[in-house]
Every structure is written in C-alpha cells, then in structure tokens.
Amino acid sequence: MSNNERSEPAAGGFIARDRAWHPPAFHAPYKSTLKRSPQAALISLPTSLGEETGPVFGHSLLGEHDNDLLINFAKAGETAIGPRIIIHGRILDERGRGVPGALIEIWQANAGGRYRHKKEGYVAALDPNFGGCGRTISGEDGSYVFRTVQPGPYPWPNGMNDWRPAHVHFSVFGHAFAQRLITQMYFEGDPLIPLCPIVGSLPTTDAVETLVAALDKKQTLPMDALAYKFDIVLRGRRQTLFENRREGL
C-alpha cells in the first residue's frame, strides 16, 4: 500500500505526534549516523518571532520553466537525456486539506545516477543538458507538478557494495525559511529500496511506504512520459517521514 492509498484520518479531535514514527538518530548499518547522531540528550530551543515570520521567499523569483528539469538547464532546442517522467501530488495537512503557497524544491541525480557537483565520485557520465534541480509553488489545493527524468541508482561508500535506490530529494518551505522540511521520494517497484541501509532505518513498512511514489497511469502522457504521484503530509498520523525534523512543519 502506497502513501497515496493509506486510510484518511478521522475528522475532528487532536492528533498527537508519534515521535517513534521517525527513524532513530543512530542506525548501525547506515555508517554516517555514527558521527552524525547526537551523543547527549537533545535540548529544545524556542524560536524567536523573527525566525518564525521571516525572511520570506518571493513568488516572483520563480522562472517560467523552474519546474521543468527537462529544459531548465538545457541549451535551446535540446533536452535532458533519460526516461521522461512527471512527478505530481499535493502538500497536505494532517486532515488531508491542501496547503497552498508552499515553496517546493527538488534535486536529483541524472538518468545515469550522477549528481552535478564537484565532489561527485561516481564515474557515470554527466548530462550537459541536465542541472538536476527545480522548484515550484503549491496551488490553492496544495497541488504541484514537475517534469524531469527518471534518476538512476548509484553506488555509495557505506559498505562494500551498497547502492542507493533511484530517488528525488524534496524540500518544502512554509511561510518563512525557518519552516523547512526535507525528505526523499522513491519509486514504486524499485528492488533496491529494501536493500538500502538508509531505508532500513525506518521503523515500519508503513513508514517506508510514505516515501514511495505510486505509478499513476492516469496522468501518464502517451508516447512521452510516465507519471508518479507523491503526496506530502506535514503532520498527524499520516505524516511523511522527514530527514531534518521529527515534529513536522
């Protein structure tokens, strides 16, 4: 069952946070958590009014093709190389209501599994027409859409032969830059998902499924692009797993 098929929450009442829903800070098979996980008790620091209300992003800063990774880095008349896909969905609150006006950013490897940055260690070829990042604003119903290429899997120096499943990184901003959540989206049917040490840190199968985008044939463009649906739930019992914050937005 994908995150798009899970049962809707009951209306009304208070939905308590389930802090056990997120993975532990230390997960031995994921070697980086040895250094990244805290060694002392966590301390909660209150935010200031300035941090909660600003700075804000300007919607006018987005370009016409910012959500189209096929062409937003390409030379005129050219396009990114790889299987063309559409990623779409909605930003939702704990009651299933759409969250409008959220800034959604994505970044990913190219179709060969390589990122465009100086310290990339994978030998797969770079695509000169693919920058690997895009952004958009959620609509009145919380909807968003991106065009891009299917990212490839890639090896990483966690174990002797560990590979990351194909994935897309998501960042969701609220009304200010201090309101930011980060997560990853995987693709339905990828056999590398259960083999990934990062995915293995998630506590339950249901938790993993919140990060798996379902193939959506209804939104597929014939002879052009497959479509995947990925809803992001900010809080509540259906909350999507986030990398940077346990409590949600």
Catalytic site includes residue 122: no
- Is 169 labeled as catalytic in the residue annotation? yes
Q: Distance between CA atoms of 51 and 39, rounded to whole angstroms?
A: 27
Catalytic residue among 84, 90, 114, 115: 115
Phi, psi for residue 138 in degrees, rounded to 5:
-70, 145
How far are the Cα atoms of 42, 181, 204 from residue 27, in angstroms, in the given order?
Answer: 17, 21, 14
Q: What's the token pair of residue 242?
A: 């986030």
Tell me how crowded residue 237 is: count the other CB atoms within 10 A of its CB.
15
Q: Is 154 one of the catalytic residues? A: yes
Is 117 a known active-site residue? no
Catalytic-residue membership of 59: no
CA 28, 108, 148: angle at the middle one, nearest 5?
145
Instruction: Dump strand ranges (E) for 74-225.
Output: 84-92, 103-108, 133-137, 143-149, 154-155, 163-164, 167-173, 180-187, 212-215
Q: Which positions ≥6 away from 76 have C-beta within 8 Å?
A: none
What is the CA angle 177-116-80, rounded to 5? 100
Q: Which of 84, 164, 228, 238 is catalytic?
A: 164
- Among candidate residues 30, 144, 154, 186, the one labeled active-site is 154
Q: Which residue is catalytic, options 167, 186, 228, 238?
A: 167
* Whether the Cβ atoms of residue 86 and residue 221 lie closer than 8 Å to each other: yes
Residue from 73, 63, 96 nearest 237 by CA: 96
Chain centroid, CA 21 distance in Å:
17
Candidates 88, 95, 116, 169; catalytic one: 169
Active site residues: 115, 154, 164, 167, 169
